[in-house]
Amino acid sequence: MLWILWNRFYTKTNSNMPPVFRHVPPLDLMNAMCKACGLTDVHDSKAFLKESIQLDLFQNYLPELEPYYVPCKARDFLLLPLTPQRAIVILRHVLKAHDKLLDSFEKSMHTKRLVWYRILSKLDTSDSMKEENKEICVEFV
């Protein structure tokens, strides 16, 4: 019962924040995490690989991020050993709280598939989805 009440309150007041956070993390912390990924700031649209994330630098920001996470989620995401994939998940959480998305796409280079990531605002994705949903009519005679 308590969960239902909390969930109703949470969705009304913090609709853009993912359910892993108690409060929205500050923007400067998000920019610092982006710098650990090789970007200049959150507005940098350059693509990066998860292998290019500086895990030791990223690890330094996790204690600052812990007060913003719900305690049970902090235990799952922040207190376990940091891997590149876990860093991507944490970055997705923080970006979503600030109305940003982490887009991923695959490229093959020299018979090796690589997953590239880039930061998009939600406005960018809605515009691109509108372009993709255009109707195409094909007539056969």
- Asked if 116 and 49 count as a contact pair (C-beta separation under 8 A), the reply is yes
* Residue 93 maps to a domain: yes
77 Cβ contact partners less than 8 Å away, ≥ 6 residues apart: 20, 69, 86, 89, 90, 93
**pLDDT computed for residue 121 by the predictor:** 86
Rg, Å, the chain Cα set = 18
Q: Does residue 55 belong to any structural domain of this protein?
A: yes
Give the count of domains, the chain: 1
In-domain check, residue 78: yes
Each residue's pLDDT tens digit, 72-89: 888 888 888 999 999 999
Higher pLDDT, 137 or 76: 76
> Which pTM was predicted?
0.74
Instruction: At 77, give phi and psi (nearest 5°).
Output: -105, -35
**Domain-located, residue 140:** no
Domain assignment present for 23:
yes
Output the CA–CA distances (angstroms, integers) from residue 9 to 17, 67, 69, in the order listed: 13, 20, 17
Domain coverage including residue 111:
2-132
